[in-house]
Amino acid sequence: MKWIAISGSWRKTNNYILRDVEEIVKPILKEDGGIMTGGALGVDYIATETVLEEGDASAQLRIYLPISLQAFCTHYWKRAKEDVISEAQAKAITSQLQRVHELAPNAIIDDTPYTEANAESYYARNTDIVKACDVLYAFQVNDSKGVQDAIDKAKKLGKDVIVKKYFID
């Protein structure tokens, strides 16, 4: 099976990005390919939701988390309390991750040594994803540093990289 990593910005998305992610993910699923994401809001959420709706999560989805699933869900609720994300976003992403865990427990990869969601654990997660993928699709909004990290690492490893750039106010 060919594994396609989907990396993208979490802070801002729009209908164009939603459409673009779905247009990439759906054909991959139809060709029995697999989708890898990082379990974040935005692009990762859209890609994961598309797999849940159109594919077989137990066979076609891998979500690499920067920390354990439980700690990551707690982290999202903490970020909501800090007004970094909304409560609706925290509910949506934690519900999605829990749903994946129930439907396809092997799809969640959270055997990381990290205990905090921070730049170090996120960049380590990016490394794990690009090492494991065959191709990286990057949906980069406003020159996101995290997405650029994945792009740079994938190129350094000689992976095929497709980048779509967006600018959102």
| In the predicted structure, residue 50 carries a pLDDT above the cut 90 | yes
| pLDDT tier, 143 (very low <50, low <70, confident <90, very high otherwise) | confident
The token pair that represents 80 in the structure block = 């909501």
Radius of gyration of the chain (CA): 15
As a whole-number percent, the residues of the chain with pLDDT over 70 amount to 100
Provide mean pLDDT across the span 64-74.
97
Look up residue 12 and give its two tokens: 């801002």
What is the pLDDT, as a whole number, of residue 10?
Answer: 83
Q: Residue 82 carries which DSSP code?
A: T
Residue 109 DSSP SS3 = strand
Write the pLDDT tens digit of every residue in 12-46: 888 898 999 999 999 999 999 999 999 999 999 99
Read off the tokens for 58. 């137990």
Domains for the chain: give ranges and CATH numbers.
3-166 (3.40.50.450)
Q: Say if residue 115's pLDDT is above 90.
A: yes
pLDDT higher than 90, residue 100: yes
Looking at residue 35, its pLDDT comes to 98
HSE (side-chain half, CA atoms, 13 Å) at 159: 26
Please tell me the distance from the alpha carbon of residue 76 to that of residue 106, in angstroms, as a whole number: 22
Whole-angstrom distance, CA of residue 19 vs CA of residue 14? 9
> Which of 112, 164, 114 is closest to 142 using CA atoms?
164
Q: Report the percentage of the chain scoring pLDDT > 90.
A: 91
* pLDDT reported for residue 65: 98
Report pLDDT for 86. Answer: 94
Q: Can you tell me whether residue 162 is helix, strand or coil?
A: strand
pLDDT band, very low/low/confident/very high, at 105 (cuts 50, 70, 90)? very high
- Averaged pLDDT, 124-133: 96
With cut-offs at 50, 70 and 90, classify the pLDDT of residue 76: very high
Mean pLDDT taken over the chain: 95
- In the numeric block, which tokens belong to residue 107? 């799809």
